Amino acid sequence: MQPLFSRSPAIAKPHTQTCSIAEFLNLFGDSWTLLILREAFYGATRFSHIQKNTGIAKNLLSDRLARLVEEEVLERVNVGERGTRYAYHLTEKGRALMPVFAAIIQWSNTWQFGPGKEPILLADRNSGQHFAALAPVGSDGHALQWAELITEPGPGASRATLYRINQSRKDLDER
């Protein structure tokens, strides 16, 4: 065992589109990565605990953790008392995923489980009040409406992205 940090193999065919969704999927778009991060949000920090709680194969967990550390979503810290023993902690970049988890939990609870059958909830640690909804806020700080939001190209949009958005809107106009 030479490599202290085993090199995370790059994905064979990542999405190459300049797109926020595509880039997110290159990092999290598989069936285990978000489940690993769920454990991190619960508080799990150890390889063995994450492995037992998710059921992921060890080689895959090893690979995914290396990738998440490389991408600075998690950091690996040595917690050994007489040698090396690792713990994985969420970084600021990782903790910033909370709204993504909140949105997923909210959707799944509403559309896959239904009221009264929610397996997990989010709550305020002090008041205990349950999280119930996400509100979109505009750049001026005022509330926006979900139904009024549309996707548009940003300052970093590539020609291909502009083309894609325009092409897709044509279908919309046809309706």
Partner DNA sequence: TTAATTTGGTTTTAAAATTAAACCATAATG
Partner DNA sequence: CATTATGGTTTAATTTTAAAACCAAATTAA
Kindly list the residues in this chain that would bind DNA in the complex (CB under 7 A). Answer: 1, 3, 6, 9, 11-13, 30-32, 46-49, 56-60, 62-63, 65, 76, 79-87
Positions in 52-91 near a copy of itself (CB under 8 A): 52-53, 55, 87
Per rule CB under 8 A, count of chain residues that contact a copy of itself: 101
Q: Which residue number, 77 or 103, has a Cβ lying nearer to DNA? A: 77
Q: Which stretch binds a copy of itself (CB under 8 A): 2-10, 28-36, 58-66?
A: 28-36
Question: From the list a copy of itself, DNA, none, which binds 158 (C-beta under 5 to 8 Å, kind-based)?
Answer: a copy of itself
In the list 3, 9, 59, 170, the residue contacting a copy of itself (rule: CB under 8 A) is: 170
Residue 34, burial from CB neighbour count under 10 angstroms (0-12, 13-18, 19+): middle
Residue 91, burial from CB neighbour count under 10 angstroms (0-12, 13-18, 19+): middle
Phi, psi torsion values for 22, nearest 5 degrees: -60, -45
Q: Which stretch binds a copy of itself (CB under 8 A): 2-10, 13-21, 62-70?
A: 13-21
3-state secondary structure of 33: helix
In the list 43, 80, 83, 84, the residue contacting a copy of itself (rule: CB under 8 A) is: 43
| Contact yes or no for 143/135 (Cβ under 8 A) | yes
In the list 9, 84, 117, 159, the residue contacting a copy of itself (rule: CB under 8 A) is: 117
| Contact yes or no for 105/122 (Cβ under 8 A) | yes
Under the criterion CB under 8 A, does residue 149 sit at the interface with a copy of itself?
yes
Residue ranges of alpha helices (H) inside 71-114 are 92-95, 98-108
Q: How many residues belong to the chain?
A: 175
